[in-house]
Every structure is written in C-alpha cells, then in structure tokens.
Chains A and B, each alone.
Chain A
Amino acid sequence: MTAPGVTTPTPPDPSTARARGGFARKLRDNLTGHAFLIGAVVCFALFMWYPMIRGVVMSFQRTRRGETTWVGWDNYTRIVADPSFWIAWKNTFIFTILALALGYVLPFFVAILLNEFRHAKGYLRVLVYLPVMLPPASALFLFKYYAYDPSEAGLFNAILKGLHLPTSEWMQSPTMTIPAMVIASTWMNMGSAVLIYLASLQNIPGELYEAAELDGAGVWRRIWNVTIPQTRLILALLAMLQIVATMQLFIEPLILANGAGTQDSATSVAYLIYQHGFFQNDLNGAAALGVIMLLVLAAFSAVYVRLTTKQD
C-alpha cells in the first residue's frame, strides 16, 4: 500500500507493455507460447485425439486385405452376437461390484485406523503402498503360482487348512475365479486409495470431532456424521475413478486365468477387445467393442454425477 500523494516509480507492467506493442508483438508472444506447446500437442493429437475419432470411424468400417469399406452397424451386430460378449459383460460387472465392495470400503477404514495411530505411521504407510510399486505381472505370478496353487502346497490353501477351513481350487474353480481376481487386484491397488484418504482425513478440523463428542456421539456416529460428510467429495471422486479402472479388468484374467479362465469364468470386456483385435484379426470388431465400453462408462458416469449432485 502506498500513501496517497507519494508517487513511486513502478516497473513497466509487462501486460500493458504487451498490449502497447501492437499486433506484431502480440503475434510473436502467441507464437512463442504455441512453440512451447507444440511437442505435447502433437503427441496428444497423434495418440489421444486422433485415435478417439479413429476408433469410432473404424467401428463402422471393415478392412480386408488392405481394402477398407463402410459396413454400417455390421461390426456391432457381429460383436453383440458373439456369445462371449454377454459373458464378458457379466464377469466385468460382477468383478466391478466385488472389487468395489472390497477395494472401496476397505481402504477408507484402513485410512481411518491409520490416522488414529501416533506410532509406526511411516512404516504402515510404506507397507500399504509397497504392492502398488510392484510390476503387476510380477505380483500376479506370485498369486498364480504360490497363493492360488490348487493343491495343499499353495499358500492360501495351507492357511485355510491350518485354520481347519475347506480349501479351494481357486482359479480352477469357475465360482472362485472372480473373487480370487478381486483379492489379487485389491492387494495390488489399495495403497493409492489409502494414501489419498489419509491426506483428506488430515484436513478435517479437529473441532468437529470435539463438538460431536461433546454432543455424546460415539466413535461410529462420529465417523458417520463427521468423517464421511467431510470427505464426501474425495469419496465420490475415488468411487468414480475406481469404477472406471476396475471395468477395464485385463491383466488379472490374462495372467491368473490364462485369459478366459475355466469355462469362460474370467473373460472380461477388455480381454475380449484384446482377443478380437490381436488374435482374431478383427481390429474393427475390437474398435466397436471399445466404443460400446466407452458408451457404457459414459452413461454410467452421467447417472452417477446426477445422483451425487442431487443430494446437495
């Protein structure tokens, strides 16, 4: 703040200097700006924007022996008529629901628990996040060969037997395939969600808990009435991100179940895209399936945004 009447020499403001410089100056500034942008823009154009359009275009075309023709909805009807199509959607939905039931709720409570501790915090955080840093292929081979070994030499079966519980055939049993993939996937991925929740828990003002406690609210009531409302935004955001991520289930069926799994019990939509595109020489069908997946996720997001904003 400068006292009235005292004039201080001010350095020329670059924005007014820019405006005064006229058209040539403006053009030069813009060109410089775009020169800095060009590398990233070209890569976005090549590998994001153009493929997005190309995917839609491809889904209405058919390429045979180097010749591309328009075929209307043929790719879509062919893809939908494939019996694997519905199985893949069913498996993907079951996986998504189970993965959310476990992988969405669990990290929230783990974060609440970790946030209460005054000791060993760093150690516990490192532990939870460690599996996130493993290459998924490495972690999944561990599950495939050691944990889910269907004999009693397998880690999980040895534990179950030790507890006098019935053992399982894991990936060889069609009913256990999806739960087994959910367990592996949650173990590999929950670290990021825990850390994000932990950060948002630390932003909750302590007075809110104080006030709730003075009103006689117990621990569960405080979680319900303070913690959840205070972290609502991040809870909603992560739910959306996790749904989109789990719907793209691919590497778990590929490695754990060798693709389709026992009696098609592991086939996912993403795996079907891969199959059509790179094994059945049907890139156009795979593109159509990709468009269907995008539409399903977009419709889902729209409904979700509608539901979560309505509550306010």
Chain B
Amino acid sequence: MADSGSRTLISQAQLRRGRGKYLYWTLLAVVVAGFTLVFLGPLYWMVTGALKSGQEIAQTPPTLWPQNPQLQNYTDAWNNLDLAKLMFNTFYYAAGAVFFQLVFDTAAAYALSKLRPVFGNVILGLMLATLMIPAMVLIVPQYVTAIDLPIIHVNLLDSPWAIWLPLIANAFNIFLLKRFFDSIPEDLIAAAQVDGASPLRTLWSIILPMSRPILGVVAIFAVTAVWKDFLWPKLVMPSPETRTLSVGIYAFSGGTPQNVVIAASVIAAIPTVIIFLLFQRNIMSGLTTGSLKG
C-alpha cells in the first residue's frame, strides 16, 4: 500500500527478524482467519441458511452446509414479496437521489466556494449546524411538513419527492464538495471569466471535469443512503406499491417463514455489496477525507 517504508508502532526491522517475524506471521494468520469468521461468516450463514429447508434450519446442531440446497426460499421471496417491484422502487429513488444531490448540492457548493454571494457564510453556517441535530429529533416535524408542505399545501406521501427533497438538504455533501472546490486554483476561474465564460459555463467546463472523484463519492453515498434508510421511507411511503426493499421486507416479515425473510434480506443486500466491491477505494477515501480534515 501507499505507506511504503514509513514506520509505525513497531519497526519493520523488528518484524523481519527471528522471533518478531514468527510472531508477525502468526498474528497475521490469526487475524485474517478471525476477521473472515467474524465478518464473512455471518454472511455465509445467511446465504446458505436461506438454501436450507424449514426443518433443516431448526435442526440441532445446525448444519454447516445445506444437505439439500434448494432455491425455493429465494424464489418464494422474489415472488411472494414482489421483490422486483421493491427493487425497482429503491433503484428509482436512489437514481433520483444521485441526480438531485449532484445538481443542487454541487451548485450550492460552487456558489459558496467560488461565487461567494452576500450572506454566503451565514447560509453555510446554518447548513453545517444541521449536522449537529440528531435525525430522530426532527422526524416528527419533518413528517408533518411532508404531509402538508408550507405555503403550497401539497402532500408528499407516496411521492418520490418525499425522499429526494430531504436528501438534497445534506450538509455533509455540500461541505465535502465545497472543500474540494476550494482547492481548485482561483486563477483557473479568473482565466475562464476573462474569456467571457458565465458562472454556469465555468462550473460545467472547468470545475466539474476536475471534480470527478468527489462527485463519484457523493453519488455512491447517495445510493447507499437510500438503500440503507429505513424509518423515513417507512413513514413517507406507506403504500405497498411505493415501498423500498428494507421497508417491504420488514412489512412482510410478520407473516412470512423465517428462511424466506432471510432470502429476501440476502437479495436486498446484493446491490450494495456489489457497489462496495466495485467502488471500495472511492468509498473508503471519501469516508476518511470527509471526516478527517473537517
């Protein structure tokens, strides 16, 4: 990895010699085995458990590998819970969230970083202040607002806007984007202005192409946020037709066999796991830059 040669708690020389070397490899083997067991083990249990029959899962002691692996639970989950519909809904909300967050949060961060209108800092301060408010504290008044928007009196229940609009109000994203834009040299912008480029043109042709990594991070976070969210979609998407995956599985869990619920949970987790494996570098770097240098 990147930190080639830089010394840490224990010197590398010590790890290469005799007892240190022996200890290092033993510890590494133990940790790799332990972590695999602790973090991958439950997922293995989940995927294979859903391949077992109801009888087999109640058996003592539990079997490590299903005796008669059957896809029955997975197909039941797919058909009975209408997972295709739930999955489509969740994808749709996630795609919209990515689009609206990229458009509005990027525009806001650009204004705060480069255009700097009057009261810009006050607005930024008020936005960042919302990071201090626990989500549960706002859930009731947010819900009351969503069912009857002030001034225009529109009810957002069962409408995707109920998910998209609150997600735009994401101070963490704006902060992340603004910090990135701040690092783009002022000269570039000035040069574009001299050439007669409008602010929108500058954003589109100069800032955005340079900001691809951070835009990727924001997009990935938007998808995972929608995929993982539970309480808010549960409240604002009450009809079975508009539910998200997590909410739908929860709603069915009462009257569905346990193995089928687990099979549905596995299916629901596949997209985020794939996204993670594809974009792990971006996700991890976004996570650490965002929180570290704050």
Residues of chain A having any CB pair with chain B under 8 Å: 11-14, 29-34, 36-37, 39-41, 43-44, 46-52, 54-55, 58, 112-131, 133-139, 141-143, 145-147, 151-155, 158, 161-162, 187, 192, 195-196, 198-202, 204, 206-207, 209-210, 213, 219, 222-223, 226-227, 234, 237, 244, 247-248, 250-251, 254-255, 269-270, 273-274, 277-278, 283, 286-287, 290-291, 293-294, 297, 301
Contact = CB atoms under 8 A, between A and B. Distances in A.
A154 B140 CA distance: 37
B191 to A, nearest CB: 7
Interface in B1-39: 1, 3, 6-12, 15, 27-28, 31-32, 35-36, 38-39
Of listed B15, B190, B247, residue having the most chain A CB within 10 A: B190
Nearest to A49: B126
Contact size range, B: 35 or more
Main secondary structure of the interface of B (DSSP, over half): helix
A53 to B, nearest CB: 8
B165 A43 contact: yes
B87 to A, nearest CB: 12
A196 B116 CA distance: 31
A247 B35 contact: no
Given A48-B130, A195-B287, A129 B265 contact: no
Interface string B29-59: 0011001101110110110010000000111
B9 A223 contact: yes
B269 A136 contact: no
A11 B190 contact: yes
Main secondary structure of the interface of A (DSSP, over half): helix
Interface of B: 1, 3, 6-12, 15, 27-28, 31-32, 35-36, 38-40, 42-43, 45-46, 49, 57-62, 103-105, 107-108, 110-112, 115-118, 120, 123, 126-127, 130, 132-146, 149-150, 165-166, 168-169, 171, 174, 189-191, 193-194, 199, 203, 224, 227-228, 230-231, 235, 245-247, 249-250, 253, 258-259, 261-262, 265-266, 268-269, 272-273, 275-277, 280, 283-284, 287-288, 291-292, 294
